[in-house]
Chains A and B, each alone.
Chain A
């Protein structure tokens, strides 16, 4: 499932991951490390909401 940043609208897509920050393609949002932050605005996982 995709997750969107509540602050800046960045969308985390598990298919793509976040390779610039060491997150491999195929990583589900739930498996992101606790210290992972939005690559655009820098807020933490708690500021993301699931996209349905």
Chain B
């Protein structure tokens, strides 16, 4: 058999699945694929933490079988009810017949509402300790990180934190540990995961880091549900999370736009030139080639979001509406914003963008609208607008 378990610590084995080919994870572009991590603890009570996405059931079972007969699993714990971690849970329950199944109280509800299966699940709450005989699992509910049901479990004897989606990233690799992969790719994918999955819950992340500190939980290894595991440098990802949750900003602006006849594109260029000439770093993202989830990633450490759209049939471009609705849901804090666009007659797009950016809670600082094709005076106006936005960025980021 090719699928083998990988030892993570004394009694913990990774028994997950590698999804090399996924490129769209519910609307999030996964350029590097992903992994669905599941963990087997070979304690007196043999325990499986989380499962994998449904099509990977054979891979999970083969990896388990490489170290132990799956029928010997006593306890099954679901730290997070989302289908990438529970898709094959009913099949696992049927095959393994675990003595007991556990989830958070919200997890019990969510699993029931997913599978309508009727198998009994027992609650684990914050402060509960599950006795595995020669090992113990401590539980910490982490509601809204990132679903109501989410929870952490911690194995104190081996200092392993099972953190489900938190600290994860979509990154497929044949290596199982973070110290074995390209660090730039690792950090980019971790930031992308944070921006797209956890950003709305940033205030909770800061509280959680504080709580974990106060509980005196010593984290030796982070065993999260996606991507390579942090066995050597858990502090690396925890400190990044603190930084991202505070949204530490750079002197950076993201210019997102679409264009019909290159007029709004020309405006984007002039405005970006004005900003970069004033020492603000610009990421120009034309929606024809930029995925919403990559835009969210660039926004993680940006101080300004500048949005451009032509007016099409009295509305903003559909691609612009797509990205704005998406970003609104991610609730980025402390953003300066502005809008621009070329139009023929009504010019509604810029006003609609202004309304959405205001509704998002950004500090809207104005807009430029140009009729049809910008001449050099109009482009100068865009350039000057860029300079004034750069001044605001520099005012906000010392």
Contact = CB atoms under 8 A, between A and B. Distances in A.
User: Do A and B form a real pair?
Assistant: yes
Among B141, B144, B204, residue most surrounded by chain A Cβ atoms (within 10 Å): B144
A7 to B, nearest CB: 5
Contacts of A8: 143-144, 148
Contacts, number: 15
Contacts of B204: 40
A16 interface: no
Interface in A23-52: 40-41
B57 interface: no
B102 interface: no
Nearest to A9: B143
Q: By DSSP majority rule, is chain B's interface helix, strand, loop, or mixed? A: mixed
Among B106, B141, B148, B204, residue most surrounded by chain A Cβ atoms (within 10 Å): B148
Nearest to A38: B144
A35 B143 CA distance: 23
B201 interface: yes
Interface in A3-21: 7-10
B114 to A, nearest CB: 16
Contacts of A40: 143-144, 201, 204
Contacts of B143: 8-9, 40
A43 B294 CA distance: 28
A8 B150 CA distance: 10
Contacts of B148: 7-9, 41
B263 to A, nearest CB: 37
A41 B143 CA distance: 10
B138 to A, nearest CB: 19
Nearest to A21: B361
A8 B201 CA distance: 12
Interface string B2-18: 00000000000000000
Contacts of A10: 144
A41 B204 CA distance: 11
Interface string B229-244: 0000000000000000
Nearest to B201: A40
Given A7-B106, A8-B144, 13 more contacts: A7-B148, A8-B143, A8-B148, A9-B141, A9-B143, A9-B148, A10-B144, A40-B143, A40-B144, A40-B201, A40-B204, A41-B144, A41-B148
Interface of A: 7-10, 40-41
13 contacts: A7-B106, A7-B148, A8-B143, A8-B144, A9-B141, A9-B143, A9-B148, A10-B144, A40-B143, A40-B144, A40-B201, A40-B204, A41-B144
Closest 3 CB pairs of A and B: A8-B144, A8-B148, A8-B143
